[in-house]
Amino acid sequence: MKCPQCNNELSEVPLCYGIEAPYYFYTVSEEKRTELIRDFCVIDEQYFFIRGHIEIPIIDSLEKFIWSVWVSLSEENFLKSNELLHVQGRENNQPYFGWLSTELSIYPITTLSLKTMVHTQEVGAVPLIELEQTDHPLAVEKREGITMERVKEIAHLINHSQ
């Protein structure tokens, strides 16, 4: 398949992109002040982050496009999510409020600090991230879905910005 923007060959079009740590992790000068373990991050023992997925429907497809992102939580909600990590039925708990803490630079407006709700899933699954209903392009795509052409455009933008 060819990239629709630059005609370079794409062996496949990924349906999931993510980043290793929250945006703010990279702004801390001393690594000692951070703790990053899989899907959880703590900075300065006062900023708490959890990783989850924003699932975007692909129009005319059963598949979803996924952004693997980080969300900041209050200390109370962060500790609660950790306590429930291996508890069956945890998906029945109320969602947690958080702030999106991943910069998705393909969007013309920053994605940092968008309001979210973090929905815990069954044991072994990462949380699903719900965005506040705004006119931000990411929120619109989440709400309305994207075409496969948009998925290819995202692949192009990510592959050529690195």
DSSP 9: B
Position 10 scores a pLDDT of 56
The residue ranges of every structural domain in the chain are: 16-160
Q: Is the pLDDT of residue 46 over 70?
A: yes
Structure token digits, residue 90: 């945890």
Position 6 scores a pLDDT of 55
Position 138 scores a pLDDT of 98
> Under a CB-based contact definition with an 8 Å cutoff, are residues 152 and 3 in contact?
yes
Helix/strand/coil (H, E, C) string of 45-77? CCEEEEEEEEEEEECCCCCEEEEEEEEEECHHH
Rounded Cα gap, residues 103 and 148, in angstroms: 22
SS3 40: strand
- Band (161; pLDDT cuts 50, 70, 90): low
Q: Is the pLDDT of residue 14 over 70?
A: yes
- Band (12; pLDDT cuts 50, 70, 90): confident
SS3 118: strand
Position 94 scores a pLDDT of 95
Q: Is the pLDDT of residue 11 over 60?
A: yes
A 10 A CB-CB count for 34 gives: 18
Mean of the pLDDT values across residues 50-65?
Answer: 96
Closest CA to 117 of 65, 81, 156: 81
Cβ neighbours for 92, distance < 8 A, ≥ 6 positions apart: none
Q: Is the pLDDT of residue 157 over 70?
A: yes
Mean of the pLDDT values across residues 113-118?
Answer: 98
pTM here?
Answer: 0.90
Position 158 scores a pLDDT of 87
Position 38 scores a pLDDT of 87
Q: What is the dihedral of CA 97, 103, 109, 114, to 10 degrees?
A: 0
